[in-house]
Homo-oligomer: A and B are copies of this chain.
Amino acid sequence: MRFSQLLIPTLKEDPSEAEVISHKLLLRAGYIRKLTSGSYTYLPLGLAAIRKVEQIVREEMNLAGAQEILMPMVQPADLWQESGRWQVYGKELLRFQDRHNRDFCLGPTHEEVVTDLARMNIHSYKHLPMNLYQIQTKYRDEARPRFGLMRGREFIMKDGYSFDATDQGAELTYEKMKTAYHRIFNRCGLSFRAVDADSGSIGGSFSHEFMVLAETGEDTIVVCPSCSYAANMEKATCQMSSASDAITLKEIEKVETPGKRKVQVVCDFLNIKASELVKTLVYVVKDEVIAVLLRGDHEVEDIKLANILGISDEDMRLADDKEIFDATGTPSGYLGPIGLKIRLVADQEVASMSNFVVGANEKNFHLRNVNMNRDFTPTISGDIRKVTSRDRCLACGSELELTKGIEVGHIFKLGTKYSTALKATFLDDQGAETPFIMGCYGIGVSRVVAAAIEQHHDKDGIKFPVAIAPVKVLVLNLSPKDLEISQAAEEIYENLRKENIEVILDDRDERPGIKFNDADLIGIPFRITVGKSFSKDGTIEVRRRSDGETFTLSPADTISTVADLIKKAMA
């Protein structure tokens, strides 16, 4: 392919619409163009990178025994009504009616359709396990699409669904997919972690997220630097950080704290650490008002709290001052667990604290030397707090690290949630009708490309991992008007093509500076420059984008050297 004929509309300036680096670079390097909020046209380079990811995904899925199919993107409402998601799925589900006023939606995911396919076509345990996947454009009507390919409304996804006869089989399939995912993201050249994740609203028994590590990630993940432990915030656990030594429980003492309401203000006034105070937060859960207790320096992890309450985190929120006063008779800031008439949820750490400070349920007063179980009993107790970088790994005791990640894959053991709802059953080896045990497995294909850029770039542009670069080599003809140089550049271009090495020849009638800048910007892994040094001493420069290393070579050595470098980079 010749640069002069390709649609690669590079931009000199950062486009104002872009906030994150991958979005900026994808626009500047002419990989994508915005059509409308959250939806992009993939130009030739952008599509080529996506196709590379798709092919890696396809090869690894097939190797793991999955079969590629393609389901319709427009889905009838009745299947979603059967699963119950028509009612509960929010506005992200784009709904519409066809010309006959029948309800449809644009598929954000395909659990319903694939479960319907299985119930119609798989009837016996003899045909199990069955693992089906598709690579398809999905649509989610995001409230605030942003960050280019990171959170679009229209995006390309690999979604896979497995059907097993037994729990054991389903777990084996899950492990196979986990292994395949490791292979996929390794092959894509990404630094990533598989983290324990909450399977919350999708249901199911357990799940892992695959997180590309990048400072710009939207998600915080908890990683142990010493052992293999990794989890997202919603799922992360740690050692108790409070002393649980035997301590004499003291008598409760009521202290005046005039106008002192905030944790830090109360602590300063009483000359204690925040870890010696238990704060009382008030939430509205559906129509109920509840109190939540946790150590003064800890934060509530909403998903954990929602899980312990058995609800969705969308059904709960912090109460405002009026709601707090109406429910407790006490102004916010002086609330405490003793004598409170509403449900009480305590973080598990509160149990191992002793002689702590709480509000007195009376304006301008707090209590010292309070102890759980002696002075009050929570309705529920459990892990509801956010892990911090001061916490220690439950497995090995090392100090945990909090780092940023971009979710590129998510696997779930679904169990029978959908097969039960849709009555999708098979005959087991005893002849009994049994619901399929399902798993589901997603990869954000277009997001992988963006995540790769977040992880691999410098101030000049993209540094694509070799495996997912649109092409492997960019040949610069620095003097298209110089016959000798042009012939040499053409020859190298043709020889690379003969070796089936994907290559673009920059044959444009542009200054060398523009060609060098564009080369860095679009981030092709190997740049071959044919210019003045060729005229002078017959040499050609090969430069590796990832680390800037250059090789000065004769034309005869160029092809084999580049082929070797590519081979090594992909190994």
Contact = CB atoms under 8 A, between A and B. Distances in A.
A107 to B, nearest CB: 10
A424 B94 CA distance: 31
Nearest to A143: B99
A117 B132 CA distance: 36
Nearest to A97: B96
Contact of A121 (B7, B40, B97, B106): B7
B35 A137 contact: no
A76 B37 CA distance: 10
A69 B98 contact: no
A154 interface: yes
Interface in A398-412: none
A463 to B, nearest CB: 24
Interface in A99-154: 99, 106, 113, 116-117, 120-122, 127, 130, 132, 136-137, 139, 141, 143, 153-154
Interface string A180-210: 0000000000000000000000000000000
A94 B94 CA distance: 13
B65 A42 contact: no
B120 A33 contact: yes
A35 B113 contact: yes
A44 interface: yes
A35 B71 contact: yes
A49 to B, nearest CB: 12
Interface in A237-289: none
A18 interface: no
Number of copies: 2
A106 to B, nearest CB: 7
Given A35-B113, A98-B141, A43 B69 contact: yes
Contact of A42 (B69, B96, B106): B69
A548 interface: no
Contacts of A47: 68-70
Given A41-B117, A98-B94, A74 B154 contact: yes
Nearest to A1: B67
Nearest to A70: B42
Given A98-B141, A99-B141, A154 B65 contact: no
9 contacts: A5-B67, A35-B116, A41-B71, A42-B69, A73-B139, A74-B106, A74-B153, A74-B154, A137-B137
Given A39-B74, A41-B69, A94-B99, 18 more contacts: A7-B130, A7-B132, A35-B113, A36-B72, A41-B71, A41-B72, A41-B113, A44-B67, A44-B69, A72-B154, A73-B137, A74-B153, A74-B154, A94-B96, A96-B96, A98-B153, A136-B137, A137-B137
